[in-house]
Structures are given as structure tokens and as C-alpha cells.
Structure 1
Amino acid sequence: MKLVMQVKLVPEAAQAAALRATLRTVNEAACWVSGVAFERRVPGEYELRKHTYGELKARGLGAQAAQHVIKKTRDAYTTLKANIRAGNLGRPGSQRRVKAESRPIRFRPDAAQPYDDRCLSWQLDAGTVSIWTTAGRLKGVRIACSPDALTTLRQHRKGESDLIERDGRFYLIATCDVPEAPMNEDPAGFIGVDLGIANIATTSTGYRAAGRGLTRHRKRQRDLRRKLQAKGTKSAKRLLKKRARKEARHAANVNHVVAKTIVTTAERTGSGIALEDLMGIRDRVRLRKDQRTTVHSWGFHQLAAFVEYKAKRAGVPLVYVDPAYTSQECSQCHHIDRKNRVDQATFACRSCGIVMHADDNASHNIARKGETVWRAGRESRVPATP
């Protein structure tokens, strides 16, 4: 299982200047390589190297850095081609697709630059790294990360790491190949997880993560951004830049806490986890104008991704189920009726008369569907009788 660890660099002033200049240089070179690739109709990596490697060396890039710039550019065009083929940039002739196809790819001055073990070495016991720059090799650049992250890096770091600059701070994005725990092939049951906005997550075991605090935080951040944007002064712009991504970081932290609680409960009880497959829900539902901001800032996909990777690390089975009718079906008698859902929080079955919290009812339905999906999957893996 691949995990991405973000390690903060704590460089001195001269080291920070060298790192910043390096990112500017390599990304400017990548834009030039991109122009060459575009003119030559995006040749293969080997052919592109023949046309650009000498010039990159003349610009002051080391051999490995030049190779990474060429590979980064070629990978960017591969990704663009895949997005066009998948229809992610619209149909042929659409404005967005024509714009993407009609000009070379550009790289931001602070875009990520890959580093392999020849350009970057880690001294984890000393808490430093040695990294190549256009000003020479920087040794003893301090790093900052949690003890758990340090242990993961020491035991499982593999392959390249990316250097990025974000809001004036430098980070190394390292890939760790962490072995998955043995999967529990015989779970005692499944914990159904109903995802929502009023309640971020409600499980069939009774756990409910209320969304009031996160909603208030988002509204407070949105109102503050609106006021600062309307003010438009230099100090307001500085504060806007300082507070950039604060809402996203807070939401990610909340999702981490919720995901850890769900997975820990499943691991302790020997159960599996059943999640709703909500892919494409924003395209399927129709919303009033005043609901759009709330729904489109809903991080259900991030929460599901956090639950998924934490479940893999813990060896907890996880399945995705069809969310259709989970909020309208009675978890006791299985009667389905739109009128069963009285309001956002109340479920009252028109058939058997049971009354319960709507999210609790949905979580029980998801748990039952999860057991069905798991049982069907196990049956399909049974080898045929000879």
C-alpha cells in the first residue's frame, strides 16, 4: 500500500533562497521542454531527451535533475492525453478541450520537482536531509515531522520524493510502501456508515459525528474571506494569503479523526465496514442555489479515502454498497416509501410504525447491504468443483 508522507523542511535563510531559486529554474526549464514537446507533437521520452538534454545541462541543471525535468514534462502530457481520452476535458470542440490541446503545458514557478536518492539523501537520526540545488549541494537541512511519520519513513520510504513550495514553506512529499495487515476474512458483521452534511458520519454501532462545528467553521471562513476580498487593501490581501487553505486543513483533520474512530471500532469488534458508493452524486442531485456551496464543499470522498487506507493498514474488510433507497427503506420491516422520511432527522415507517433517527436507520440498511456484498464476493471467489 502506497502512503504519501509530507515532511516539512526548516531551512536557514540562505538555504531557503537556494531551494526557491532551484524550483524557479527547473520549472522554467520544464516550460521550455514542454514547448519543444508541443512543437514536435509530443515525442517519446527518449526522443525528447535528444532534443533537450544538452540545453538543460547548459542552463545549470545536473544530470539527474535534467532527466527528471524531461520525465516530468512527458508525464504531464501523458496525463493530459488520458484526461482527453476519458472525456474529463469535455467533448471534441468544447472550449475547455480546445484550450488544453492548442497550447503547451505550463508549469507554475513553485510546482513540484522530483528527487531521487542521488539528488536527495535522508539523515533521519539527525533529522536532516542533503539535497541538490542549482547553488550546489545543501547539507544539514533540518526537517520536522511527527515521531510516527519518522518511523514510517525510516522503515518504508521507497522511490522518489517531490520538493514543493507552499505559502513560502518547503515540503518534501515522500512515498512509503507500507505492507497491508492480513485481511480479516471472516468478519463478525459489518458496520454501516451513513455519510451526510448535518451528521458527517453515522454508524450502525451508534457513533455519530455531528457536522455543526465544521459547518460553522466553513461559514465563518467564507464570511471572513468575503469581507477581506471586499476590503481589498494590502493588509487584507496578506491576511487572505496567510489564511489560505485553512478551511481545507481543518476539514481534513476532522475527517481523519472520524475515519480513525470508525476503523478503530471495526478493528476492536472484528467487523468490516460498509460505505456508500457516492461517486458522481454531485452530478445526479438537483440543488437550490443556497445549497450549492454547502454540498460542493462536502468532503465525502476524502473521508471515504481516509477510511479506506486506514482499514487496509488495520486489516479491516471494507466494501462499497449502492446507496439507493437506504434513506427510504425501513431497517426493521424493509418497507420502502418516500414518505417514511418525515424530515432530515426523523424516520417513521408507514408499515410497521417504528420511529428512529433517519441516519441511524440508513446506517443499518448500509450494514445489511455490506454483508450481502461481502457474502456475494466470497461466493464468487470459491473455486469451481472439478
Structure 2
Amino acid sequence: MVKLGRTIKLRLYLDTIQAGEFLAMTQEYQRLANIVSQWVFDHDFPLSWLKINNHLYKKFRQESALNSQMVQSVFRTVVARYKTVQEQMKQHAYRYKATDNKWIQIPRDLTWLEKPIYFRRPQADLVRQSNYSFVNGMTQISITTLGKRTKLAFTNKGFEDYFQGDWKLGTGKLVHNQGKWFLHIGITKDITDFDKGNSPQIVGIDRGVRFLATAYDHLGKTTFFDGQKILLRRKKFLENRRRLQSKGSKSAKKKLKQLAQRENRWMADVNHRLAKTLVALYGSHTVFVLEDLTNVTFNTEDLPKSSRNSHRSWAFFQLEAFLTYKAQAVQSAVVKVSPAYTSQRCPKCGLIVKTNRHHDTHEYWCVQCQYRCNDDRLGAMNIEMLGHEWLSGVKRPKIQKLTTTG
């Protein structure tokens, strides 16, 4: 069994008094979180809730109006944030070019931080039953504020199904955004894990910009997901961004921030819909094979200037994350393989020659066996081939370079 996770977002409806109570409570939570963050930074990053609790709990209980459970939630919130940053630093090592023009990578950890993590927004993590609960036949929600609890109305539009069945509600995060209040609740459900011993189908997926995804399945069928409309809209975003940047005024900077948020929401929606379509198309018991793009720098020299920005900044990792959890929900899996030579290897004779791929015509043409096909399809074919190697027991499938078949 494996736990499937989701987040539901409930809109809360507060009166003026309740809004003031919520703001005071979340500001106090934010204040304590920054004190804890400073303490963690000053004491060599002890990421243990118990250690922080032993040193700061009594002090906070004497000084703060937050109840016992919420003080301990503050500790967990800070620890979780530092662990997230720690993992991000592990994944992105410090890189520099040495005198011999070789790239050197140095692992990073929390000691690289120059200052403690700062919590910029008022917030609060609420434990179910202790800090929030549903009352009056699920028509209201009761939430702890400073020294008391208050009841208010909410809407769960779009999330009704998650309040039924086997979903378990966990900690909720109180969020204040553009004058509105929301409660984001993490929920989990136990589902049957993916079983690779039962002959799953394998689908190789090549991610790109001209085609957002090119999928090649075990039957030899290729499905292209066109990205031309996406490119045009991204170009408009880029033009608007450059226009605002050239002004440099305070209002322009504000509009730049709003534009970035709107673009991010749009990109997330595109990736959500693409991941949902892939899972619906291939169904359960499928191995979706992707290239592992961690620490990969995209070469855009062969691309036209109008496409370089989109290629560098498209959210490839976001699509991977969305596909991973959507596949898990239907007992499928996402596997990552090495990207080395996936766009250069001939699937017929195995020859690897970089110049066989022609970016101007988006075609692959093998000089040895004369095999020709679309270059995005070729990448998906090679990725699908590596998926079969993973299924046969190879832990890290990778194409070995072959320059001639002899």
C-alpha cells in the first residue's frame, strides 16, 4: 500500500470581527516562526522538533497567546521549511568552471545560508480537531484563534468528493490572499502500489516546447501534444514583461509581479491538463518513462532566438511532478532515465551521431542505415527503449555511445 496525497482549498467566509481575530493570530504565528528560525540558524540547524521544543516551548507559552498545540505547530512549520530548503540545496550543487575549463560541483547544505529563513506572510498551521473541526453537520468550521474558537461558514466547491470515502483529513494551513481567507487541508488515502511484475505497458515521453510532449507506446504508436499555441502565448508574456521592465516605474514593477503570477498559474494549468490527458489516455498499470533532467543545462544555440527563452524557462519539472502523482492514483508509475544520447541514437542500427539530427527540419536521418523520422518521435522511442531496460532490472538505464556498428 502507498499513501496518495492531495490538498483541498476551502474558501472561508468571515465577518469583520473574525477577520481581525484571524489576522492577529496569523501575525503572532509568523512572529514566533521567525524567532524559531533565528534560533535554528544560530545553533547550527538542529532540525529536530523535540530539541526546539525543549529550548523554546516554556518561553513561548509564557509570552504568547497561542495555545500549546499551535506553539508546537510553529516548531514543525519551521523545521519543515528548513528541510525543504535543505533538499533543494542538495539537488542543486554549486558549480563553477576551473582553470582547465572543467566544471566542478560542490555539494551544498544549510551552512551555505547567509541568513535565517524569513517567514514573510502571516500564516498558521492548524491541527485537525485540536485547532479546526467541522461542526453542525459539516455546514460550518470551528477554528482556534487567540484564546478562543470561532465558527464560520465555508465552501468546498469542487472538493466535495474528498469529504467522502477513504480520504483522511490532516493539518490545515490558514492562508490570507487578496483579502480572502482560505484553509488548505492536506488529505491522504491508502491505495494499492504499482506492481511492475505484472507486464505493464511502457510509454516513453519526450518533453519539449514545439511539442509539449511526444509519447511513444509499446505498440509503436506516437502521440504528439502540440505546443505552438503555448509558444505564442509565452511570446506575448515575454513582450509584456520587456515592455514593463523598460519603464522601471513603481506601478510597472507591481504589474510585473502580477504578470509573473498570472503566467505561473497558466503554466501550472497547462501542465495539469497535459498530465491528466496522458494518464487518461494510457490508463492504469503504465510505466511513464521520462528523461531525468536534474542538473541538465539546455543547449539553445541551435534554436531560433524567438524560441530560446521558452526552452530555458518552461516548467518541465512541474509536468513531471503532476504526472507522478496522477499516475500513482491509477496504480501507474513514473520512471526517470538518463537523457544521454536519447536524441542522437538511431533506434534501428544503434548508431550515435549528433549531426544525424536536423533542427531546422525537425528530422532525424541516420547516415548509416538511412532511417528517417521526426526528431521528437525519435527521442520518445529511445526513452521507451530505456523503460524496457528498467523493467528488466537495470536500475539506471542509459544509452551507451556507439559510433559505428562495425
What TM-score comes out, normalization by structure 2 length?
0.77
| Mapped pair 1:375 → 2:392 | yes
Please point out which of 293, 296, 315 is paired with 1:281: 296
- Deviations 1:153-209 (CA, angstroms, capped at 9, x unpaired): 443134322223344443333222222345353235311111112211001132211
- 1:75: how far off? 4.4
Q: Where does residue 150 of structure 1 map in the other structure?
A: 160
Which amino acid counterpart does residue 56 of structure 2 have in structure 1?
T
Displacement after TM superposition at 1:314 (Å): 0.8
Aligned: 1:194 with 2:194 = no
CA shift for structure 1 position 357: 0.9
Measured in 2, the distance between the counterparts of 1:305 and 1:123 equals 35
Q: Does residue 163 of the first structure (1) align with residue 174 of the second (2)?
A: yes
1:349 aligned partner, one-letter code: C
Deviates more, 1:178-187 or 1:288-297: 288-297
Deviations 1:26-48 (A, max 9, x none): 11122233344555666664454
C-alpha contact (below 8 Å) 2:4/2:329 kept by paired residues: no
Task: Report if aligned partners of 2:212, 2:227 keep a CA contact under 8 Å in 1.
Answer: yes
Which amino acid in the other structure matches residue 28 of structure 1?
Answer: R
Partner of 2:13: 11
What letter corresponds to residue 100 of structure 1 in structure 2?
L
Residue 138 of structure 1 corresponds to which residue in structure 2? Answer: 150
What is the alpha-carbon distance in structure 1 between the residues aligned to residue 189 and residue 275 of structure 2? 19
Deviation at 1:139, TM superposition (A): 1.0
Counterpart in 1 of 2:57?
A: 53
SS in 1 for 2:65: coil
Q: Aligned residue for 2:398?
A: none
Q: CA deviation at 1:240?
A: 4.3
Deviation at 1:238, TM superposition (A): 5.3
Q: Secondary structure of the residue that 2:190 maps to in structure 1?
A: coil
Aligned pair partner of 2:312 in 296, 300, 317: 296
Q: CA deviation at 1:259?
A: 1.3
State the TM-score, normalizing by the size of structure 1.
Answer: 0.81
1:6-38 superposed Cα distances (whole Å, 9 cap, x missing partner):
404232352334323322221112223334455
Answering whether residue 109 of structure 2 is matched by residue 106 of structure 1, we say no
Residue in 2 that maps onto 1:23:
26
Report the secondary structure of 1:279's partner residue. coil
8 Å Cα contact 2:194-2:332 kept in structure 1 = yes
Computed over aligned residues only, the root mean square deviation of the Cα atoms, in angstroms, reads 3.6
| Contiguous gaps of at least 5 residues in structure 2 | 97-105, 396-406
Specify the code of the residue in structure 1 equivalent to 2:190: P
Is the 1:328–1:338 contact (alpha carbons within 8 Å) kept by the matching residues of 2? Answer: yes
Q: Distance in 2 between matches of 1:309 and 1:94?
A: 28
| Cα distance in 2 for residues equivalent to 1:317 and 1:202 | 18
Structure with the higher fraction of residues in helix conformation: 1
CA contact 1:331–1:365 (8 Å) conserved in 2: yes
Note the 1:298-377 alignment, pairs <5 A: 298-343=314-359, 345-376=362-393
Contact (CA 8 Å) 1:124, 1:150: kept in 2 or not? no
How far is the alpha carbon of 1:308 from its aligned partner? 1.5
How many residue pairs match? The answer is: 371
User: Taking every aligned residue pair, what percent have the same amino acid on both sides?
Assistant: 26
Structure 1 regions of 5+ residues with no counterpart?
379-386
